[in-house]
Amino acid sequence: MDLLQRGTRWREALAPFSGQVVIATKFGWKPNADGSGTWNELDSSSRTHQAGSRRVTQRLRVDAIDLFYQHRVALDVPIEDVAGTVKDLIKEGKVKHFGLSEAGVKQFAKHMQCNLLLHSE
């Protein structure tokens, strides 16, 4: 089953509960070029985050992702850069909240500082 088919199934299952469920999804992986819907490489670039948010909102036919969280910290991209990209998505109304998973103490502390900045304006 490809991603579009999975998105269609989720969309159909969620339809009766529109506005009553929280949509949470992770980002930070680069999709394999073979279209299989699998990922094997960390990618915290802004382009990947923006494309990922578009895919989710289009597949599920929702206006925004309630919680968009970085699955794994890619040390080659500063968390401040990731937060800046997510801040843009929040300003555009595509994402409501930014989260982080599988992070060390230092990355989490930086994330919390960035998160405060995201919601301070």
Q: Give pLDDT, residue 77.
A: 82
Range of the domain at 50: 3-118
CATH number of the CATH domain containing 50: 3.20.20.100
Q: Are 94 and 56 in contact (CB under 8 A)?
A: no
**What's the sign of the alpha-carbon dihedral 90, 27, 14, 21?**
negative
Q: Give pLDDT, residue 31.
A: 72
Number of domains in the chain: 1
- Amino acid in position 88: D
For the chain, 121 residues long, the average pLDDT of each consecutive 10-residue run is 60 80 83 73 78 82 87 80 84 87 78 66 56
Strands 39-42 and 29-31: antiparallel
pTM for the whole thing?
0.73
Q: Give pLDDT, residue 119.
A: 61
